[in-house]
Amino acid sequence: MSWSAIAPLLLLSVSNVFMTFAWYGQLKFPNTSLLILIPISWGIAFFEYCFAVPANHYGHQVYSAAQLKTMQEVITLVVFAIFSVTYLGEAIRWNHIVAFGFIVCAAFFAFNKWS
């Protein structure tokens, strides 16, 4: 696999770590005002965009837009599952795994050439 095929995977992975913290990191601070949480989340999301935009820009030279989006969703689920268990202390249950599995199945269909 070439660097141009791997780079989007790495960039999207880093992007999703920032995105997950921007969107869900604030759940550990339920008593904090939204006036504080929103600008902090925007600040974190800036770094998400710094990785997501190049991932999609360069990735589109190798992958279709549908493949990039599907890849991003699978990466998001993996990052979120790790985050949910380690940072939020929430359990991943069987029904979550089944739901994630369906999205992985979508990736299978997105990445196969059907004529």
pLDDT at 5 over 70: yes
Rg (CA), the chain: 16
> What pLDDT score was predicted for residue 115?
64
| Pair 91, 82: CB distance under 8 Å | no
Q: Which domain holds residue 95?
A: 3-111
Q: Which residues of 34-69 are buried (b: 16+ CB within 10 A; e: fewer)?
A: eeeeeeebeebbebbeebbeebbebbeebbeeebbe
pLDDT at 1 over 80: no
Q: What is the pLDDT of residues 97-111, one digit of tens each?
A: 998 888 888 888 888
pLDDT at 12 over 70: yes
Q: What is the pLDDT of residues 28-75, one digit of tens each?
A: 999 999 999 999 999 999 999 999 999 999 999 999 998 999 899 899
Query: For the chain, how many structural domains are there in total?
Result: 1
